Amino acid sequence: MLAIVPPSRRGYLYVVLAALFWAVSGSSAKYLFHSGISPFQLVQIRLTIAAAALFIWLAVRNPSLLRIDTSDIRYFVLFGTLGPAAVQFTYLFAISKIHVAAAILLQYLAPSFIAIHAVVFFKDRLSRWTILALIGSFAGCYLVVGAYNLDIVSMNLAGIISGVLSGVTFAWYSIHGEYGMRRYNPWTVICYALLVAALIWNILHPPLEGFQHAYRPAQWWWIVYISIMGTLVPFGLYLEGVNLIRSTRASITATLEPITAGLLSYLFLDEVMDPPQLLGAVLVIASIILLQLKQEFDEKAPALIRARKKG
């Protein structure tokens, strides 16, 4: 069926599905926290199941993807530790403390942190549109977390800090993931990053402690969903989408995630965002779109200039 669908439409479909799976994963994690599971337990279980499932899958289907150069072991240890291990915990801990949609939107600060990184370390020009997008994203997050109300901030400070850190660590993951992607298949990079992250969380938290509890069937269902359908499957769909419609369009389409997560959390978790918070969400999403469109324009600009000169 999908073979007859034009590649561009398939690409958007893959990214939309990935965003929906991620959104359900965030809301289901909040449900698990309400039911007594801690973020420490869930991050350990999630990373362990996801890493084991992907390693077995690659070992059976394409063992060559598991080969890496010994000189890159240090890279994967650092990448897995400061990447998935840190990203997953800060993200889940934020969800446990603040609204799901707010936690996801804070992680969506990553494009802004990447833009700042490019300016500081690569001397990229800070254009008017980039400045506008950065102001919009940070102002939006100020509203999203309810910083205009000091009572809300004092109640949720740990969650807010963790959410911002999830944006920082995800930006780091995105930037340093490029090195691995240039040398290896994306699935090789993801697999070893997850393996290291799982190992780290079985050292920081008592080994396999998260598995040593009598969870109800409903809890196990959502744990497995988060580990597979909220991690491996959407990563695969997103990568396929990027291959078909480019990372810029994929990033913009993925902003469906916080919107869907907010709706699901409202329907099933009774999480309600105030009007200023909703305005903040719009500002964050608009800023992400602006940053991505600016990036696409910058990539196309040299070719357009050459075409005009030839004309």
Domain ranges of the chain: 2-310
- pLDDT reading at 1 higher than 70: no
Write out the DSSP string of 214-242: ---HHHHHHHHIIIIIIIIHHHHHHHHHH
**What integer is the mean pLDDT of 12-28?**
91
Tens of pLDDT, residue by residue over 140-168, are: 888 898 877 767 677 788 999 999 999 99
Whole-number average pLDDT of the chain: 87
**CB of 265 closer than 8 Å to CB of 124:** no
* The predicted structure's pLDDT at residue 6: 64
Percent helix / strand / coil, the chain, rounded to 5: 85, 0, 15
* The predicted structure's pLDDT at residue 108: 87
Question: According to the per-residue pLDDT averaged within each range, which of 5-19, 119-133, 171-185 is highest?
Answer: 171-185
- pLDDT reading at 305 higher than 70: no
- pLDDT reading at 59 higher than 90: yes
Share of the chain above pLDDT 90, in %: 50
From the list 103, 147, 135, the residue with the least C-alpha distance to 258 is 103
Measure the CA–CA gap between 81 and 160, rounded to whole angstroms.
22
- pLDDT reading at 263 higher than 80: yes
**What integer is the mean pLDDT of 166-178?**
88
Q: Is the dihedral of CA 182, 183, 189, 192 positive or negative?
A: negative
**What integer is the mean pLDDT of 167-182?**
87
Measure the CA–CA gap between 35 and 101, rounded to whole angstroms.
19
* The predicted structure's pLDDT at residue 301: 52
* The predicted structure's pLDDT at residue 304: 45
The pLDDT-based confidence of 88 (bands split at 50, 70, 90) is very high
From the list 148, 150, 39, 158, the residue with the least C-alpha distance to 106 is 158
**CB of 38 closer than 8 Å to CB of 223:** no
* The predicted structure's pLDDT at residue 310: 55
- pLDDT reading at 117 higher than 90: no
* The predicted structure's pLDDT at residue 236: 84
From the list 2, 235, 226, 256, the residue with the least C-alpha distance to 105 is 256
